[in-house]
A and B are shown apart, each in its own frame.
Chain A
């Protein structure tokens, strides 16, 4: 339950998948989806990679 990685990188789906893959456990998936989605929403417009492009 520990390896919740960052959502500040603005790549929520990839992070969710990586948690499952690096811990080798699919029972973490729903919990991880929840946590990553919430942290993604909270971090809002702040991001760590300035070179990311916004296309809306």
Chain B
């Protein structure tokens, strides 16, 4: 559109993410990191820093400069570190499952489906809608729900059984919605989904840890 090369467009996209989350440094590093599996593109970092700083200033002056997910108030406690290690293990496993499910549906299920190409998204939306009737959390981008969970406002959720199970089920349902959207797949949606799954997973784990070690982990995190 602006007469830029493909590479420049990728850079802009990644920097924009940092702006939206009000995370200027994170955005700049993300721009450099996201293009490679195990590498950094150093020459993106400096333009990325400048772009992120400007983007953050403009975005923040309109919507305010408070962090996206509020302030975390508690003190650091080294005894919690093993719990974070467990959380890391679980997140890694879930990340693998997420990617596998996503690409199974995208590359096998929908590709081999004998349907008109215009009907495939309709089918996906239909399935998504049915899931959404039972679990409205999965519809939309999900930041509101994520914030509610982080604040511990569980009463706005309909309760289906115990929290632990539900949190993890939610995570996978959220996968589904984006699987079914995958005809309209985009980088941005993928980030939102990952955040949503990560957030729910983190809260679920937090509750489990709170029950196991009440003195170490407080609920109102």
Contacts and interface: CB of A to CB of B under 8 A. Distances in A.
* Interface SS majority for chain B: helix
Interface of B: 18, 21-27, 29-30, 32-39, 66-76, 80-81, 84-85, 87-93, 95-96, 98-100, 102-103, 149-150, 187, 190-191, 194-195, 197-199, 201-203, 206, 217, 221
Contacts of B199: 2-3, 5
Interface of A: 1-15, 17-18, 20-25, 27-28, 30-32, 34-44, 46-50, 52-56
A13 B33 CA distance: 8
Given A1-B202, A39-B89, A27 B194 contact: no
B91 A10 contact: no
B89 A3 contact: no
Given A24-B67, A35-B85, A7 B26 contact: no
Contact of B198 (A3, A14, A20, A21): A3
Given A2-B150, A35-B87, A42 B96 contact: yes
Contacts of A10: 33-34, 36-38
A39 B76 contact: no
A32 B95 contact: no
Contact of B195 (A5, A31, A43): A5
Nearest to A31: B84
B92 A38 contact: yes
A39 B67 CA distance: 24
Contact of A52 (B37, B80, B87, B149): B37
Contact of A34 (B21, B84, B191): B84
